[in-house]
Amino acid sequence: MIGKLKGVIDEIGEDFVILDVNGVGYVVHCSQRTLQGLPRAGEPATLAIETQLREDSLKLYGFPSEAERDWFRLLQSVQGVGARLAIAIEGALGARDLASAIAAQDKAALARAPGVGPKLAARIVAELKDKALPAGAPGPVAALLGGHAGGKAPAPAIEDAITVLVNLGYGRAQAAAAVAASAAVLGDGVGSAELIRRGLQRLAQ
């Protein structure tokens, strides 16, 4: 199994890059986001690699970081999401926005990816919301505090609200998603008490 390739870019195609590693050209399939972030031909590059072996083919998928690769693996644990669709989702969102969308249960954000309809978007957020996120990717709290879930409430109020909801028996991902959605609606300066009240209302729906 190949986990990483470090070499020189030989060619960049529509959905792949050929990476020359000590004279051997590896065809690595990548999202448009990844391809756009690569240097020009003739320059060095390193990609985290996912190797997929089938009966009639062997394909390499490349990512700028291990976190991106881990999201690729995690997405494929959802029924109906294969390698091609997982690449499309990551290409449309990226690891950080993908983590934020799942934390906030933002089905509309996922549905913007090519090939993802409303039903599949709902399935993705439902199946992944309580799973451990890949190492290096922002979890629900980090995404929320970073402003990627739309919340504008002060960080201490957000942390306090999440902690209270967790102590009441809700999962951390569930609590973070509820607080994120509440903070996005309530806006600047809201206190933890109001976030808790609104969060409980959302969790009870």
114 and 164 co-located in one domain: no
What share of the chain has pLDDT > 70, as a percent? 86
132 and 153 co-located in one domain: no
| Residue that the structure tokens 């690699």 belong to | 49
Predicted pLDDT of residue 164: 86
133 and 164 co-located in one domain: no
Task: Mark which of 118, 138, 158 sits at the end of a domain.
Answer: 138
Q: How far apart are CA 65 and CA 8, in angstroms?
A: 17
Q: Write the single-letter amino acid at 83.
A: A
Instruction: Kindly report which listed range (22-26, 105-109, 169-173) carries the lowest average pLDDT score.
Output: 169-173
Instruction: Kindly report which listed range (33-37, 54-58, 102-106, 148-152) carries the lowest average pLDDT score.
Output: 148-152
Task: State pTM to two decimals.
Answer: 0.66
Write out the residue range of the structural domain in which residue 191 sits.
Answer: 143-204
**pLDDT at residue 36 above 70?**
yes
117 and 130 co-located in one domain: yes
Residue 78: pLDDT band with limits 50, 70, 90: very high
72 and 129 co-located in one domain: yes
Instruction: Kindly report which listed range (92-96, 144-148, 161-165) carries the lowest average pLDDT score.
Output: 144-148
- HSE, CB side, 13 Å, CA atoms: give it for residue 69: 18
Closest CA to 61 of 73, 79, 78: 73
71 and 130 co-located in one domain: yes
Task: Mark which of 138, 162, 185 sits at the end of a domain.
Answer: 138
Predicted pLDDT of residue 153: 53
Which residues contact residue 82 at a Cβ distance below 8 angstroms, ignoring those fewer than 6 apart?
Answer: 76
Adjacent-strand bridge partners of 27: 18
Q: How far apart are CA 205 and CA 136, in angstroms?
A: 32
Count H helices and E strands in the chain, helices first: 9, 5
Count of domains forming the chain: 3
The domain spanning residue 26 has which CATH number? 2.40.50.140
Predicted pLDDT of residue 68: 86
Closest CA to 50 of 29, 75, 80: 29
